[in-house]
Amino acid sequence: MATGERTAKAGAAAHHGERAQLRKDARAVLETGVTGLTVRVQDERRRSTTVRAGVADLRGNRPVPYDAHYRIGSDTKTFTAVLVLQLVAEGKLDLDDTVEQWLPGLVQGNGNDGSRITVRNLLQQTSGLANYTNLQFQSLETMKQDFLANRYTSLAPEERVKLAMTVAPEWLPDAADPGSETRWSYSNTNYVLAGMIIEKITGNSWEREVRDRIVKPLRLKDTFAPGTSARIPRPTATAYTKFPGEKRLTETTEQANAWSDGAVISTTADMNTFLRALLGGRLLPAGQLAEMKRTVPAEGF
């Protein structure tokens, strides 16, 4: 057998083995209670492997479409961070600028202080600010009712921040060097503020900046920020949520309750393209990509 043939067969066997392992992993995720999922992996040769498990809809038992549109949730934060770091690279913003410099008077009250929080704190989740999404529900017992009553209501960014200002922060970063803060707590408020800073600097909506700076250059044909729309394009898979105290799943596909912290809709193929471009240096200069990779300890996360 020629060397080329042996190499090709070995590569095909390895690819088959990877697909089998990926299917096994997808089934393992399914066993945690997920109703359906799609997984796509692309190797260094740009060969893509896509597998699916479960169903797209519990009522019809349709398989999950390989090209399903999903709400990517907090992966949206990576898009927002890219926009911020692009502005840093352009000299329009510094990671050590304070929130107060760009959004004066917005972060204040109940011990909150925007002059003690930098853009770096926002991106690294070290600001200490309360998570506004935790304050949207009256209690765990009413979470389902609160969601259903407000699923089509899209709060303005200022309203989201205002919610967070109703309580004291977990901490305030060091006044002398806030960017050195390493205490960490997940807060969607941080990325709402980042989105607002993007709008303040560019004069454009956050949604437009996502489109013009990321979606168009990378030709992501199935990726967009939906604005105030609660709809999601077909093909898709039905989203379900198990609310506290509930035995049954609740259909939650249509919702309009996120923004620069979690609103983007995409597909596994587009996300593959986005992440490859990001890590390959197509979206950020080396210095800003290095900043993105700087981390702080995140206990239990």
Active site residues: 74
Nearest by Cα to 126 from 91, 93, 96: 96
Instruction: Name residues whose C-beta falls within 8 Å of residue 216's C-beta, 6 or more positions apart in sequence.
Output: none
Phi, psi of 41 (to 5 degrees): -125, 135
Q: And the tokens for 154?
A: 């899209």
Report how far apart, in Å, the C-alpha atoms of 6 and of each of 12, 17, 81, 267 are.
Answer: 10, 16, 44, 35
**Do 35 and 240 form a contact (C-beta atoms < 8 A)?**
yes
Per DSSP, the residues of 83-123 read: HHHHHHHTTS--TT-BHHHHSTTTSEETTEEGGG-BHHHHH
Residue type present at position 295: T
Report whether 112 contacts 165 (CB < 8 A).
yes
Q: State both tokens at 162.
A: 């205002």
Strands 108-109 and 112-113: antiparallel
Inter-residue contact 70 to 240 (CB < 8 Å): no
Kindly tell me the sign of the dihedral angle through the C-alpha atoms of 107, 108, 112, 113. Answer: positive
Peptide bond preceding 235: is omega within 30 degrees of 0, i.e. cis?
yes
* Separation of alpha carbons 257 and 51, rounded Å: 30
Q: Which residues pair with 118 in a beta bridge?
A: 98
